[in-house]
Structures are given as structure tokens and as C-alpha cells.
Amino acid sequence: MTDDKNTMEDLVSLCKRRGFVYPASEIYGGINGFWDFGPLGVQLKNNIRDHWWKSMVECTPAGPDGQPLQIVGLDSAIIQNPKTWEASGHVEGFNDPMVDCRECKTRFRVDKIATVTFSKDGDEILSTHIETESASTAFEDAIASLNSKQRKLLKKAGNDVKTSARFLNDTGDGSAVACPLCGGELTEPKMFNLMFETFVGAVRNDDARAYLRPETAQGIFLNYKNVLDTMRVKVPFGVAQIGKAFRNEITPRNFVFRSREFEQMEMEFFCHPDESGRWYEFWKQHRMEWWKSLGISEQNLRFREHGKEELAHYSDACVDIEYRYPFTAPDFGELEGIAHRGCFDLSAHQDYSKIKMEYFDHGGKEADDSRYIPHVIEPASGLTRGTLVLLCEAYTPDPDRPSGVYMKFDPKFAPIKAGILPLVARDGMPEKAVGLYMDLRKDFMVELDIKQNIGKRYARQDEIGTPFCFTIDGQTGEDGTVTVRYRDSLQQERINIDGVKKFLAEKL
Amino acid sequence: MTDDKNTMEDLVSLCKRRGFVYPASEIYGGINGFWDFGPLGVQLKNNIRDHWWKSMVECTPAGPDGQPLQIVGLDSAIIQNPKTWEASGHVEGFNDPMVDCRECKTRFRVDKIATVTFSKDGDEILSTHIETESASTAFEDAIASLNSKQRKLLKKAGNDVKTSARFLNDTGDGSAVACPLCGGELTEPKMFNLMFETFVGAVRNDDARAYLRPETAQGIFLNYKNVLDTMRVKVPFGVAQIGKAFRNEITPRNFVFRSREFEQMEMEFFCHPDESGRWYEFWKQHRMEWWKSLGISEQNLRFREHGKEELAHYSDACVDIEYRYPFTAPDFGELEGIAHRGCFDLSAHQDYSKIKMEYFDHGGKEADDSRYIPHVIEPASGLTRGTLVLLCEAYTPDPDRPSGVYMKFDPKFAPIKAGILPLVARDGMPEKAVGLYMDLRKDFMVELDIKQNIGKRYARQDEIGTPFCFTIDGQTGEDGTVTVRYRDSLQQERINIDGVKKFLAEKL
């Protein structure tokens, strides 16, 4: 556990140091919940984005019958008519219950604070109030919250000490839990809407109030009729979108995992109600395979079916694809949700807009079957979270190399595909390196790095996860070969400089 | 002029009908100033986005010495610490002067309303109050605003009628112009900040106020130090970014040209103050060549140097690359601005943040030269506007074809590269079409369209700008050839079905 916490700290530090992710507005002390992607982070993120788009829209998956599915793209505005969010239920329902401390005024989510009690033989030894992610992290956080006197008490109690955690949202009793920071009394829970508000136009009144979208999905539902009327699609078909979404989280945390501004990759798949169960299963399996195809190891991925009680207001069934993040380990955290949204959204928009959302199936054999509101299966994943997962997955400590760590990206997703390095900055080597660079850069994202000790340059390429380095040395002038250095094995071999392009094309 | 207005109406209609651009939230009556990109629009826009990114970041332009420039990418958050916008001058200075009508309460930009007077031999015949884009559109809009009685008066006056337009911002006198809608009296001009505001966190007070960025540029300046410290770049170098920006425009208009939410493609090029003039010239020429390389005809592009009096607060010099839009023709409108921002931004952030923004040049020969705040040249273009320009440029009426119009996209940017059409949906043709589609779709964005009269399918492909159609017919079964139909020439020729992939690769 401590190892995993350190992993996260090290990763955040590497991300900053090597240009993957910077805290937003750092020169002004930052802004809680916002992050900027640096030069390498944006390449990594774009690689995931393009792969999703290609596999979802440009070269759609084959359906159960082996035929390619019909899925088209969309890019809707972040700000929509506010009626959208009334219909979707977000104005009423998109709330987190929260409490404030009456003393120190800090605000907490009720499902994130707990009282942990240590007891032995039925007698309470001591209890502590903590802020924690989940039941699986409560014990560790409780231990960390103890002062030295409490630690001694616990030590003195010896073995067989039992621990129990009561979360505020489980007790339903505000007085059962006190402020984790100052021990102060907490207010009654209050709902807090997670949508960012703004005003459109010159006047600031209720009519002008608008919201930053908390999900990209509604932009798709708004355009369901447009797509149906203007594209040559028939049910079943999908509409896919990648874009920013915003949630005014009370407690942004865990690096870019829970941030207030993030990118989603969502697809709404419209199908016949009777076939929705089948499509739900299809997408569930398909999306898991997709994440595995990114090089994420199977043991770090799992499904988690939502219980009835935790389903969102719009959802008939939902399964998460979870990843074992360093900050949740040994537990898992959400990466993608595949939701069976039923006809909730289209029906709601039909009610609010009075625009018919029915689909008329010209091929329907029976009258009953030919006119219906499609059901929707939604694989909704985070591009920001996907990027975080590839960063976590790639992070590989290795005390035997100078950098102490390397980023083991699948070459397809590595921000830089190859480093081109003259061994020294003289004897004609830089010129040859420039020549190779100029030849490769049209086809691959490559980097030329001429100056500095070669060991330091290799160390940097390890830390940014460059799978191959081509080194121009004295022998290059003699026999036209360069060294290929493999990031993962550290193995080196010589290949002809003219064969480098082919080598890269085969590896990528 | 009337032709151009009709062109714009037709184009907007085609964009809706064929899935390029839909009005946002249309089922709720829309939301003024916001648009959604449909399935074909998003492909077109992505093609421009990827081309810019590739040519700016992944395969950077060669500088004046023939060597590739150093430019890295970035993706900063839309919401930043609000101090950003105090430092940048946007909180104070990013305002439009506006007036309200005291009667009908409509709000206008002072530089967009005018009184147009018709006179003969020095005597006024009549005058009219209008809302209009610029001096070049005032006359036409004035004519359109007249009632039948006024038209008769004007006709009666015969030849040699003189027209003059006084804009409210020129007169400086509110009483000189009345409301174009109801003739009511106007208020004094008032400044209106164009940034959308929101609140971050649970509390709504001045400390929690934040803004949606009105430009992507500041996210780059915020990270100038981070990039310098973490990437192996030296001055001169650039940082490029593509992303959404928001401006609460008083009068959004002209389709996606002036919308409230739009995408920018901006690059900040940091250079030595003494070399900034040279880089300004370099980027000015380079960006013009880039737009031409997208297939935009030279006669529709021009430079317009800003006069001293119209320079933005941050700018030492600025030139626009303008395009002749149908709604500005015969005049031109902005497509990209290349600004010499001097050291305004870095100095301002240094003052506000107390973080040193100086660059230390280890290679500097003289002491004076080795430490300085870089100057910045900024080529800032609109991805949304670029997409609009390609739509306008492609729009080609042709009364001789069934669609009456076709979209003449450069094949590189066409949303769909090829349509694959069986002549009829029987006799084994659909199966062959599917086979070809499956083969091509891994490498190209292609579309399979099986049913409907072939003429209608060709007409659709013309309207969505697909450069090539491959038609499987009876002869395909006999000799393995398909028809290639060229969108622009309507010429048809037969090629071997096995050669289609190579054909496409060569054309794209």
C-alpha cells in the first residue's frame, strides 16, 4: 500500500518533470481540479483519442453477425440550451450530498467521510474521523490519522483488535461523524449541483442561465433525430463523440482521475428494445477487449456490475470496467461505464421538446414492431482517465538503470516513437543524425537529441517511454550501420541506416 | 451580392441536410451562437485539425535556415486560475462597447449599428437605422430595411442619389442613431465583458469566480516556464495548442463565423527580441502558404495589416489573413491573425505571479544578450473558421447535375474519401461491394451505400464532396473491373477492383 502511494507520487513527479502533465495555472498557485497536458502528455492522449475514433467511427467494430456496425461521429457544443439538462434530469438530480464543518468550514462529500472505531473484546479502544476514498482505504487512512498517543494505546491493546468504519452516508446521522480535520460538528447534508453554471448573452437572469455539459452524451441525444434524418443509418446504429465535460467536484483528487475538467469518449448505440440486452452484453465484452488491446494487463482490469441501489437515475443496468490504480490498489477504480440507458433520455427529450423521437422501421414485419423509441447502450469512457491508466500501466521502476524507472508504453501509444542520437556532437555524427531525422519525421513522431552525455539522453528517453533509440556512432561512417537500443530489454543491435524506416514501420 | 447571400443560405441548408453542421439544441429552439458538428462536419474538421497539428508539431516547418523548427504541443485547461485573465488584460480590457434600446430592450454593438442617409443634391430624401456588419454591407442592408413607401420615394428621386452611413461608434453621439428594430432611443454605450463567468467550488463569491478562456494562447504563456524547464527546447521555439475557446458575443452571426463557442489553433513562437521582426515576416508568409496548400484559391485570400489604432492591447503589430466569405463578399473577413505580441504577456505574468520569465541563453556571446524575456509571434487561427472556409470554398453550384451543387473538397480533406456502390442491390453486387469496403476501410474513410437509385446515391456523394465513387456492376462479375466516377469531372473509367486501394493511395 505504501509502495502504491509512493508510486503515485513518483508518477505525478515524473509527469511534471518530463512534460506529460503540469498542474494548471501553476505560476498562480494552481487551481484545484484542473490540469494541463504537456508536450508528451498531449501526444499520448491524442494517440488514445485517435485510436478510439478510428476503431469506433472510421473502421467500426464488426457486430455479432460479422458485419461492420453503423456508427457515425459527432461534435456537439459544450454549452447547450439549458432545457437539455432539465430533461436529462441533471438540474434536479445531478447532486452530491455534502456536509460542512461548522468550525473550520471545510466541505465534505457524505460518502467520503467516516468514523473508524478500533475495539477489542467488544470494548472500544479509540475512534477517529477520517476523509477517505472507500471502505478499502479507510483502515489505512485511519491509522495514518492517529497521533502518537493513540498509536501507543493501540499497540498496548496487542492482537485481535477489530476495526469498523461507519460512513456518514451509511449512518444517516450527522452527529455520528465529526470533521476529520478539526473534530468540529458537521451540518446536515445538503445537495450540491455538480454542473458549472454560466450566463449566455448580456443579461444575467434565470432565462440566460446555462450549464457546461457534465457529460457529452446529451449532445448525442439532442442530435438523434438530425442524424437519423440526414445520414443513411438505420437502427441499430451508434453516434460517437469525444470532447470536454465539466463537473464541479467537491473534492477533486488522485491526480487527473477526478478532475473538474476532463475529456470523455462516449458512444450511444440505438437499438430495438428487445435486442438491448444482447447489445449490452456485446458492448461490455467488446470494450473490455479494446482496453486490453492497448496493452493493459488483464490482472489490472475487471468488471464491476452496479447493484440496483447504485444505478444512476437514467440507467436500467450498468457495468464498470475498472482498473487497479496505484491509489486504489489493491482495490480498483472506474475507467469506463457501459450503461443500459433504456429509453430514458429519448423519452425525456420527447416529453420536454414535444418532438417525436420514435423510430419507424420500414422493414418491421409486424405493426407493433415497426414504431418504437430505441433503447440505448452507452459505452462511456474517459479519455483523461485512459491516459492516466496508460501512464500508471507504463510506470516501471528499474533500479538497474540510471533513470531508476522507465515508461513501458506500447509502441503504438508512445508519444515519441524513436530517439535519434549522435553518440557525440562532432565527427560528422550530428549531420548523419539530422539526415536520418529528416527522413523519418514525415512518417513518425521522432525526436532528434544531439547534445549531452549519451547516458543522460538514454535516461531521458527511458523516462518518456521512447521504445527505440537509434544511435549514430563512429562505425556509422564506416559501414552505414546504427545502433538500435530497445527500451525494455536494453539490448542493442546494429542495423543498416537505410533500414531504419522499415524497422520502425514493422514495429509500430 | 444577392447571389452571395443566397449562397450562404444554401450552404447552411446543405450543411444541415447532409450532416455537416446542425444548430445546437435544435429540438429546444436552438441556442444563439452555438452549433454542433454532424458526422461529416466532424470528419472535415478533424482532417484540418490533424493537418495543422502534423505540420506544426509532428513535422515542424523548416525555418529560414532550412532546419526544422522546434515546436511542441500542449493541451491546457479551459478554466484556469482567474489571475491569468487579470494579468492578460482580459478582465479589464476584453470588452465590447454596447448600447441598449430603451424601448424594445435589444442590445447592439456600437460598431454594428448605423444610420444610412439617402440624399440628392445635398437634400436628404430619407434615412434609416440598421444593424450591419461593416461599411461594405451597410448600403445593401439599408435598402433591405426600407418599407414600400420609402422605396417609392427613392425611386421617384431617380438617378444620382448619394448614400452615407454613420456608425454609432464613429459619431460618438448616441442620439444620432436610433434602434434599428423599433426606432427607439438608445442608451449611452456601456462596456460588456466577453468572457463567460462561472464559479469553481461550492461557494459563490469573488474568490471563486473563474472564466472560460476567451483564447487558448494564455494557457501557453502559463506553461512557458514548464516547457522550458522540462523539454529540451531553446529559444527560438514554439508551443502549439488546439482547443475550445468561448466568447459571449453580443451578436453571434454568419453561421459558425462568429459563434460563442469555437475552436482555435494557436501557436506562440518565443524568440529573441532582435529577431522578432524577422520571425513575424516568416510566420506571415508561412501561414498564407499553409492555407493555400489546403486548396483555397489565391484570389479568395489576402493580407490585411492592422493600423496602429486597431491593434489589441497586447499587440505590437498584427496582420490578418482574410478570406472572401459569401457574407462579406466582395469584401473579406478574418481567418487567421498573425500577431507580434512583443513581451507583453510574459512580462504581465511575471509581474502578477512574481515568477521570473527571463530566458538565459547559455550560448549568448555578450552579457546583455544572454538574459531576456523572449518576444512572441503568434499565428492564431480558428479551426471552426477554417472548417467554414473549406465549406465555402468547396460549395460549387452546377445546374447540370441532379444535386444542383457539389462540394469540391481537396481529396485530402474530404470527409469521405470514396463511396462504394453496387449498381443494384442484387446479382451478387452487394457482396462484392462489401468485400471492397472491408478491404478499404482499414486505410481510408470510405462509405458503403447499397440501396436506392444509383443517381440519387451519386447525388448524395456529390453533396457531401466524396471525390471518388467505385461502382460494382454487371461487368465486375465478368472481368473484375469497377467504375471510378470522378466527382469534379463526372468522368467515369473502369479499373481493376484489385487496383482500387493503390488508386486511392495515389490520389490522397
Contact present, A258 and A34 (Cβ < 8 Å):
no
Which residues of chain B are within 8 Å of residue A460 when distances are taken between CB atoms?
Answer: 232
Q: How far is A154 from chain B (nearest CA, A)?
A: 37
Q: Quick count: other Cβ atoms within 10 Å of Cβ A503?
A: 16
A223, A250, A352: residue with CB nearest B36: A223
Contact present, A237 and A83 (Cβ < 8 Å):
no
- pLDDT per residue over B199-220, tens digit each? 998 777 788 899 999 999 999 9
Report B:399-438 residues touching A (Cβ under 8 A). 434, 437-438
Q: Which residue of B has its CA nearest to A435?
A: B67
Q: How far is B472 from chain A (nearest CA, A)?
A: 19
Report A:333-352 residues touching B (Cβ under 8 A). 349, 352
Touching check for A26 and chain B: CB below 8 Å?
Answer: yes
Please give the backbone phi and psi of residue B361, each rounded to the nearest 5 degrees, phi first.
-95, 105
A&B contacts, CB < 8 Å: 233
Contact present, B169 and B148 (Cβ < 8 Å):
no
A19, A84, A230: residue with CB nearest B230: A19
Q: Which residue of A has its CA nearest to B216?
A: A36
Touching check for A29 and chain B: CB below 8 Å?
Answer: yes
Mutation pick from B20, B54, B57, B75 vs chain A, by most beta carbons of A within 10 Å, is B75
- Rounded Cα distance, A474 and B216, in Å: 46
The pairing of beta strand A113-120 with beta strand A333-342: unpaired
Q: Which residue of A has its CA nearest to B224?
A: A27
- pLDDT per residue over B35-93, tens digit each? 999 999 999 999 999 999 999 999 999 999 999 999 999 999 999 999 999 999 998 87
The SS3 of residue A472 is: strand
CA proximity to B448, closest of B473, B419, B426, B474: B419
Q: What proportions of chain B, in percent to the nearest 5, are helix, strand and coil? A: 35, 30, 35
Which residues of chain B are within 8 Å of residue A260 when distances are taken between CB atoms?
Answer: 79, 200
Q: Are the Cβ atoms of A58 and B230 closer than 8 angstroms?
A: no
Complex-level ipTM:
0.87
Which residues of chain A are within 8 Å of residue B79 when distances are taken between CB atoms?
Answer: 24, 31, 34, 246, 260-261
- pLDDT < 70: residue spans in chain A: 1-5, 171-175, 313-314, 363-369
Contact present, B277 and B378 (Cβ < 8 Å):
no
Q: Are the Cβ atoms of A200 and B33 closer than 8 angstroms?
A: yes
Q: Are the Cβ atoms of A35 and B77 closer than 8 angstroms?
A: yes
Mutation pick from A16, A20, A72, A75 vs chain B, by most beta carbons of B within 10 Å, is A75
Indicate if the alpha-carbon torsion angle B488, B491, B497, B499 is positive or negative: negative
Touching check for A201 and chain B: CB below 8 Å?
Answer: yes
Which residues partner with A422 through β-bridges? Answer: A472
Which residues partner with B457 through β-bridges? Answer: none
Which residues of chain B are within 8 Å of residue A41 when distances are taken between CB atoms?
Answer: 75
Q: Which residues contact B261 (CB under 8 A, 6 or more apart)?
A: A77, A78, A79, B33, B34, B244, B245, B246
A68, A83, A107: residue with CB nearest B202: A107
Q: What is the residue-level pLDDT of chain B in tens, covering all 508 positions?
A: 346 668 999 999 999 999 999 999 999 999 999 999 999 999 999 999 999 999 999 999 999 999 999 999 999 999 999 999 999 999 887 777 888 888 887 888 888 899 999 999 888 999 999 998 888 888 889 999 999 999 999 899 888 888 888 888 776 565 678 899 888 998 888 878 899 999 998 777 788 899 999 999 999 999 999 999 999 999 999 999 999 999 998 889 899 999 999 999 999 999 999 999 999 999 999 999 999 999 999 999 999 999 887 777 667 789 999 999 999 999 999 999 999 999 999 999 999 999 999 999 876 565 566 899 999 999 999 999 999 999 999 999 999 999 999 999 999 999 999 999 999 999 999 999 999 999 999 999 999 999 899 999 999 999 999 999 999 999 999 999 999 999 999 999 999 999 999 999 999 8
Q: How far is A313 from chain B (nearest CA, A)?
A: 22
Q: How far is A451 from chain B (nearest CA, A)?
A: 10
Touching check for B13 and chain A: CB below 8 Å?
Answer: no
Q: CA-CA distances (angstroms) from residue B82 to A262, B209, B219, B386?
A: 19, 7, 12, 29
Which residues of chain A are within 8 Å of residue B442 when distances are taken between CB atoms?
Answer: 59
Contact present, B303 and B255 (Cβ < 8 Å):
no
Q: Quick count: other Cβ atoms within 10 Å of Cβ B306?
A: 15
Q: Which residue of B has its CA nearest to A19?
A: B230
